[in-house]
Amino acid sequence: NETTEMPEEPVSAIKPQEIEDHGEVLALMIHRTDKLKSDFRILHPVVRVHVVNEETGQYIQKQHLDRAVTSYFETANEAVKTILPMMTQPFDFKERKSTIPAWEDLLVFNENFNYFVQPDPKVLLLFELLDFVSMNTASNQEEGGWYKIAWAFLKVLGKNGKINVGNKIRLQLFLPPNKILHQQPGQPQVYTWWKSTQRTPYPSTLYVTLKSVQSPVEVSGAMRSMFATQQELGHMSYKDLKSMNWSGKEKTQVRGRPLSTWTRLHGQLCRIPNTLTLTLKTGKKGCYIVKFSNDGRSLACACHDGSDHPILVYEIPSGELRGQFQGHFGIVYSLSWNKSDTFLLSASNDGTARVWDIQRFGESQSRLLPHPGFVYTAEFHPRVDSIIASGCYDEVVRVWDISLPEDHNVLQQEMEEHHGHINSICFDTDDGQKMFSADSVGTIIIWNCYVSDESSRKHFLRDWTKYLEIKDPELRDTPINFIKMHPSGRRLLVHGRNNAIFMFDLRVQRVMQKYFGAENLKEKICSTITPCGSFVFSGSEDGKLFAWNTDTGDQVAVYTQLNYQSPVTDVHYHPRDHMLALCSLGDNHPVYVYRYDPLIAQADSSSPRPMSPLETTDIEEMETARTSTLKEGIKTKVMTKEEFETHEKVRYQKVLKKLETATMQMSQMPGMILPETAYSPRMDTLSRSSMYSPRRLPYDTDYSLTPRMSGVPPGVLSPHAPPGSGTQLAGQISAHRGYMRAGDGDWRPGFSE
């Protein structure tokens, strides 16, 4: 019997519909290029991206035909079965005042990320650097008048099997061929350039980053759709137009928030918080910056949650989460509220500063301010909300006016006086006539600010000018982490990365006080001043929080049991209450909010070991999340009138006993003459001179007596001096003058008559 062998069927590849989807989509960040060749036709370049099959050159098929990948309206056309090209916004050289294009534009392909990293089909990204020409020139050219500058390519899956995702990549640019190459139907022209073996390098490169991001669940509609799932809507619906004049929708929402009662009155001395009142959840890697709003009713926290860097906004004092903002791809170094608390400004190492609308949580930023490098600081002007100053790694301070439309030149000025990257910016007072900027080489520059808050005038009047440069020897070549103006407006807190914090007197440009104890040699740690100006708080790299008296520099408190395994990166004091918030950038580190409790302070004063920082200048350990059950009993303890009087008498006797002991020791020192009362701070100068030595005391004076019992004669210039006591003084002065006049040719210091 003959047996016929059936041919083995090849193992079929995974169908596109069967590729697992984890909710992540492909995102492509177009950063910038290097310097381009001088060409008068390059005025506003753009980058166009094609997603093609490496083997066939055809556009990649969509995994699901009913899913919009690049455009919101592509599902309405059944003929669109492939992933369409995407393009960045134009970079206008004239408006941006730069000939180096820096788009910092994020192109999101709303398609399963795993679909792009499969070995079959091999995905090839092709980049075209283009510019559009005038209408007259476009009518005589092909492809709608595009001027082709250069091109580049990137394989998502390299030859070594490594996925080119997550890192900033530098791509070599090539010149388009002069001759027209044969092109198959459905292939982009740039694919034929890539297939050609002759490639002429263009003297520049393109910087891109390929990454996976979570697809947003809900995207609010806009007048112009910028995302595949973003619906295009009018500015207002008919219902809004009908009721906009009298509904007051947003004002009702603001008034709907419950009013808070603060325990600190305006101008009252701040207290050092002594009890933990809130523990706020952050990201997986903790939180880097915290900032109370100006009205004290909100707390913004810049968190680090794995690949995301959300900004959480909590309600104060309830601690409820109001909402969050997402969009940054790097650590947020700085947060700033405008004076009306309607907008929040953030600066990040992803090369952007972003302005967020507090009434629109979950939406994208209202304005994006691109930078060529890490943005370490950004601040609203204290008087004009639309003016923003930012400091960048490229040693340039930039001034922006966000009141202008986005198609205008928002960037108003670039100031290049620094020789180190800008770490911190602050303004002087509520008027904001001076701005201070500090860099990584220990230099502080003061700038004159020329702005106007009149609606009829341009907010940015003219270029800001350099007023003064401060270079202190103690801060030479030392990075300055943070600067903050003292509430008096005459002093400046300077946080250096050399284990010391300084208080500068701006009138003499010198250090008037130093604060030691906090460790800081590596991290960018920020400090703060209380609104009354009495205390300085700062975190430390050993996970502690320190507090000092502003004027004396004495440590008044140390928070040691914070349970932080990483440095305390930021602390901020509440503007209306005895409250502070602190954070740390570490695994699951929460944000702690401490508050001053007078009952605990009263109980601490009666305990054998003092606990309240305001009662003693000794350094102490503050209670934290691991609070003992004893504290709960202390909170409910209220002394009666008799107990309070007894307690005060005991304290008075202890103080009096210490004073008597100290004065007894002073009286037994040879040559020490004490005044009649130990409580009088004033002493007659002549009573401590050589005229009244111990030998001149009355015969019944004994050194063993206390100052209260010793009878010290009155001074010569005292109205109670005995008659004739000034005669001896006059004789001594006369003899001294005679000695000075006895000249023998040698010079002696003397009096001129």
Q: The domain spanning residue 157 has which CATH number? A: 2.60.40.150
**Same domain flag for 210 and 300:** no
**Same domain flag for 496 and 643:** no
Separation of alpha carbons 69 and 108, rounded Å: 8
Residue 676 placed within a domain: no
Which pLDDT value is given to residue 605? 54
What is the per-residue DSSP string for 148-206? EEEEEEEESB-TTS-B--SSEEEEEEEPPPSSPPP--TT--HHHHHHH-S---EEEEEE
**Same domain flag for 47 and 146:** yes
> How far are the Cα atoms of 316, 387, 428 from residue 454, in angstroms, in the given order?
33, 13, 20
**Same domain flag for 584 and 655:** no
Strands of the sheet with 287-292, listed across from one edge:
287-292, 298-303, 311-315, 321-325
C-beta neighbour count of 92 within 10 angstroms: 15
**Same domain flag for 476 and 403:** yes
SS3 356: strand
**Same domain flag for 472 and 503:** yes
**Model confidence pTM above 0.75:** no
Separation of alpha carbons 187 and 462, rounded Å: 52
CA angle, corner 385, sides to 382 and 388, nearest 5?
A: 80
β-pairing, 443-448 vs 46-53, is: unpaired
Residue 704 placed within a domain: no
Residues with Cβ within 8 Å of residue 154, at least 6 apart in sequence: 124, 125, 127, 164, 169, 171, 208, 210
**Same domain flag for 41 and 169:** yes
C-beta neighbour count of 555 within 10 angstroms: 19
Domain count, the chain: 3
Are 584 and 541 within 8 A, CB to CB?
Answer: no
**Same domain flag for 590 and 610:** no
Which pLDDT value is given to residue 438? 96
Structural domain of 493? 278-596
Q: Which residues make beta-bridge pairs with 82?
A: 61
Which pLDDT value is given to residue 17? 63
Residues with Cβ within 8 Å of residue 456, at least 6 apart in sequence: none
Residue 173 placed within a domain: yes
**Same domain flag for 39 and 52:** yes
Separation of alpha carbons 542 and 521, rounded Å: 11
Residue 517 placed within a domain: yes
**Same domain flag for 289 and 397:** yes
Separation of alpha carbons 507 and 640, rounded Å: 51
* Token duo for residue 303: 């968190």
**Same domain flag for 506 and 438:** yes
> Running along the chain, 753 residues long, what does each successive block of 10 average in pLDDT?
44 63 88 93 94 92 83 74 91 90 91 87 93 68 77 90 89 90 84 89 95 77 69 64 49 51 84 93 93 94 90 93 92 94 94 92 86 94 92 94 78 92 91 93 94 81 91 91 93 93 91 92 93 94 94 92 92 94 93 90 54 38 42 50 76 80 61 44 37 40 41 56 64 67 53 46
Which pLDDT value is given to residue 143? 58
Residue 698 placed within a domain: no
392 CA to centre of own chain: 12
**Same domain flag for 589 and 602:** no
CA atoms within 13 A on the CB side of 41: 13
- The residue type of 402 is I
